[in-house]
Structure 1
Amino acid sequence: MVRNTEEAVDTQSNRTRSRSNTTRRGFIAGAGAVGTVALAGCAGTIGSGGGDNETVTMLLTPDTPADVRRRYKPIQNLIQGEVDGIDVEMQVPQDYSAIRPALKSEQAEIGMDDITLISNPDIMDVYGTAVTGGSAFYFSVMMTNSDSDIQERTDIEGKTMAFADRLSTSGSIFAVYALKEAGLDVGEAPDGDPVDFEGSWSNHEVALEKLGNGEADAATTWGGNGIAHIPKDTEVPSRVDDKSSFLDTMGDESPKFRPFWWSFPIPKQPIYARKSWESPKKKEIGDVLVNSDAETVEQYYPEDYDEEELPFTTIEDTSMDTYQPVIKRLNDLGIELGE
């Protein structure tokens, strides 16, 4: 969901910092394994810790590996700096379908996407929902070029829509459901081809790239990725204005796109651990995450880190009920998340 899944803390432009390469427990910022592992297809090696430390593998949301690892680096540093005796490895799966097999086969300990959680909650222990900028919600947004004749969802008929990963909550599932709700024949999407329009699936960044270079007439992504491409002073729905923690990035990126549909607030990515992980470190890590705040996490920024990149600062206590809107859309689209 949670980006997989997905938002950054508000910018504090007037605040200055003195960043060091060490923290109060002597942790060296930037330490820890960040090697590329393609979990899909069981390629790569997971779980090679150093010395007597316990290795904890954290699966990030599928996206551009270098970018997503960088965004989560302060969280990796935080856990290693606050919990003794562990090495945290960050791995970026090829796609969402690779996450649950890795957890079930005990190749990883921690995940942070809603799709995997709701597909089989009995094998997960939920830490909570990510909070950034004071909000535990984010948005799916459909965008097009400024000179496009697309004004609403039904205008997608006969055109091409670029989506993120097929199982991305904001970049695929909510958007496909919204197009179906508008009366378009979505066919077997996202698992197969739509009927009334053409669709392509990749990831959040590539979806916008396809829109920008003319390979798609529209694209769908999550607000944290898309809002920066919307011109400043663009009017947004009140629900977005109230709950998005990314509006301060509006206009920061090029090319510029025009939004024509916003979802209602979607709960941000959950953070969870596999139930079969029997270690005292499991609870310690959960306590660190729940009790963290922006000031605590800031101590673990890499030297050249920009706080706008931060995926979350703390966790809000939530339950499976929070994710019922996602479950409803999965069921309606006939998406099977079983074995």
Structure 2
Amino acid sequence: MADEIRTTTSNDQTESKGTVTERLSRRRFAIGVATGTAALTGLAGCSSVISRDDGDTVTMLLTPDTPSDVRPQYEPVHNMLEGEIDGLTLEMEVPQDYSAVRTALESEQGEIGMDDVTLISKPDMMDLFGTAVTGGTAFYFSMMLTKPDSDIDKRTDLKGKNVAFADRLSTSGSIFAVYALKEAGLDVGDAPDGDPVDFDGNWSNHENAVNQLINDEVDACCTWTGNGMAYLAEDQELPEEVEEGDSFIDNRGQENETLRPFWWSFPIPKQPIYARSSWDSPMKEEIREALLASDEELIREYMPDDYNENDLPFTTLEETGMDNYEPVITRLNDLNIDLG
């Protein structure tokens, strides 16, 4: 097994230079926020302002990616919330990119979000419900993949290569990956906001990143285990920490194409679920309580008959705080990523 197929220094999970609040106040975060109707352009499938006339309709903004992939995954969650909460009409929208999430929340076109970068960018604007749990764990891993016959065995082998990433603000598919390359000694330039120096990089989404590798458009790709694990051989050896802590290991061998991992992160907290603080409705607490009370047995009751259980992104919530996302903040600061 290549020496890079190990979790990177896990001590930076506990690294702290003041509280999260202090660190956020010392650094200006920015997420390119638009105003007015421009906020709508980030919501996939939405060409005009979302109607907010129905006071009983709650909009949940899913993790930015391919809508045809993401919406079906969350159908059991959607069905469970509507089934368990009287009078709730829940709409799930898939933003075009991560920048669009906070835009939609600030313009009150959405009530609930679920990505850590948006939460970190303006924690005072959000009420954190907790961290999503799947398969008994609230963690996942960032990973780097290449073709089985590639000469890439470690991060430094990416010098001079073409690398595909997910969205620029994706924690696993961009932020952790770029930081890991910098940590290995590569010159990442202004990535992910600009161009790297020691390698060529392009950013899109998790699915496209993997497809570019499959189609020989790049030499390697960066993604997360919920997306990439299915491209590993069924007998692919995993680092002990991944074997014990990742909920997607049973997905190995599900895709026809086989890719080879050569780097893994340490465990990353899964996506938080939060609501905008300005949302004043009894539904907010009812939704939070329903998510916390959910479990695998309950979620199964709301699965469509043709649902692939390996796609399930949520079974319940683990109560967490901002300190759990300190590793993400560390990397955002180090890479000088503006979130504001």
User: Which bin holds the TM-score, normalised by the shorter protein?
Assistant: 0.7 to 0.9
Instruction: Give the Å deviation of 1:40.
Output: 5.4
User: What residue is the counterpart of 2:285 in the other structure?
Assistant: 283
Spell out, residue by residue over 1:241-285, the C-alpha distance to the aligned partner (whole angstroms, 9 max, x if none).
Answer: 110011111111121101000000000000000000000010000
- Confirm or deny that 1:46 pairs with 2:25: no
CA distance, structure 1, for counterparts of residue 65 and residue 321 of structure 2: 26
**1:1-339 aligned within 5 A:** 38-39=41-42, 43-47=47-51, 54-338=56-340
**What percent identity do the matched residue pairs reach?**
64
More helix by share: 2
The CA distance in 1 between the partners of 2:198 and 2:323, in whole Å, is 33
Deviations 1:3-30 (A, max 9, x none): xxxxxxxxxxxxxxxxxxxxxxxxxxxx
Listed one character per residue, the Cα deviations across residues 73-94 of structure 1 (whole Å, up to 9, x for unaligned) are 1111111111111211110101
1:13 matched to which residue of 2? none
Paired amino acid for 2:49: T
2: CA distance between counterparts of 1:116 and 1:314? Answer: 21
TM-score normalised per structure 2? 0.86
Bigger mean CA deviation after superposition, 75-84 or 184-193: 75-84
Structure 1 window deviating more from structure 2 (292-301 vs 319-328): it is: 292-301
CA distance in 1 between counterparts of 2:166 and 2:179 reads 14
Task: Give the partner amino acid of 1:140.
Answer: S
Do 2:43 and 2:94's aligned partners in 1 also have CA atoms closer than 8 Å?
A: no
Poorly superposed stretches of 4+, deviation over 6 Å:
none
Amino acid at match of 2:276: R
CA distance in 1, matches of 2:189, 2:88: 47
Distance 1:154 1:242 in 2: 27
- Deviation track 1:206-252 (CA, whole Å, cap 9, x = no partner) reads 00000000100000100011111011211111110110011111111
User: 2: distance between equivalents of 1:170 and 1:328?
Assistant: 14
Match of 2:13 in 1: none
- Where structure 1 has 5 or more consecutive residues not aligned to the other structure, the ranges are 1-36
- Measure the CA separation in 2 of the matches of 1:88 and 1:191: 34
Counterpart amino acid of residue 211 in structure 1 = L
Counterpart-to-counterpart distance in 2, 1:167 and 1:43: 23
Provide the aligned C-alpha RMSD in A: 1.4
8 Å CA contact retained: 1:54, 1:87 = yes
Secondary structure at the aligned position of 2:254 is classed as coil
Residue 67 of structure 2 contacts residue 94 of structure 2 at CA under 8 Å; is this kept in 1? yes
Distance (Å, rounded) in 2 between the aligned partners of 1:38 and 1:256: 36
The number of aligned residues is 300
More off after superposition, 37-46 vs 271-280:
37-46
Flag structure 2 segments of 5+ consecutive residues without an equivalent.
1-39
SS state at 2:124 partner? helix
The answer to whether the Cα contact below 8 Å between 1:47 and 1:55 also exists between their aligned partners in 2 is no
| Mapped partners of 1:40, 1:231: distance in 2 | 35
C-alpha displacement of 1:204: 0.4
1:12 is matched with none
| 1:82-129 Cα shifts (integer Å, max 9, x gaps) | 111121111010100000011011110000000000111000001100
